[in-house]
Amino acid sequence: MAEPGSLGSIIAPIHKAGWPFIAIFFAVAVVLGFLWQPLFWLGLVATLWCVFFFRDPPRTTPIAPGLVTSPCDGMVAATTPRVPPPELGLGSEPLPCIGIFMNVFDVHVNRTPVPGRVLARAYHQGKFVNASFDKASDENERQSFRIETADGSEVGIVQIAGLVARRIIAFVEEGAALAPGQRIGLIRFGSRCDVYLPRHVQPVVLPGQRAIGGETVIAHLDGPQTPRLGRTD
């Protein structure tokens, strides 16, 4: 962990999956610069954006029984029940679901919402409609994980490709043991994560809220379950 106020606390590390893209962006900028110098500066701006996109900042994940944390940075887009994707193996009835939309300026490294064991991982080909739309959860390319916690609860997380996303990368396999807030994958570029909760669990976030991956508590598997109310001002 970098000391507060140090350069490391200001500049986030870059995930290794991003370096090939950063190199390509910079190479294209150099080539364009030979054609017309102002194009180099435009390419350099695009390269800096690519560096920003692939940042992978450290996060402090709260640890307590039953906590469910956000799998990604972004805006809570929906908290209504949904039928989970069939490949998750969580049944055909609607379950509490929290959908979080990532724009192209959010951190796109995704983390597990709960510690536990990966019971299943599945990839599904699909479309690339705007990930902020609810239909993206059903129609878009996606990758799903079903995770079992220490007390036997099962939570699903679905990485969903967006309008410009064309690759979903998984960092963990079936059977992997996950620590709280552990990195499980990355989506390029602009996308969504859906978290499917056990039937009795109520989300503790509301549409329109900002979430921080690995830090924001979005639900409690244990304890009283009351609907969360809020207001926008």
Reduce the DSSP state of residue 179 to 3 states and report it: coil
Reduce the DSSP state of residue 42 to 3 states and report it: helix
3-state helix, strand, coil in the chain (%, to 5): 20, 30, 50
Nearest to 132 by CA among 168, 114, 96, 106: 106
CA 152/CA 174 separation, integer angstroms: 16
Reduce the DSSP state of residue 47 to 3 states and report it: helix
* Cα-based distances in Å from 152 to 73, 102, 117: 27, 30, 10
Query: Is 191 annotated as catalytic?
Result: yes
Q: Any idea which residues carry the catalytic annotation?
A: 191
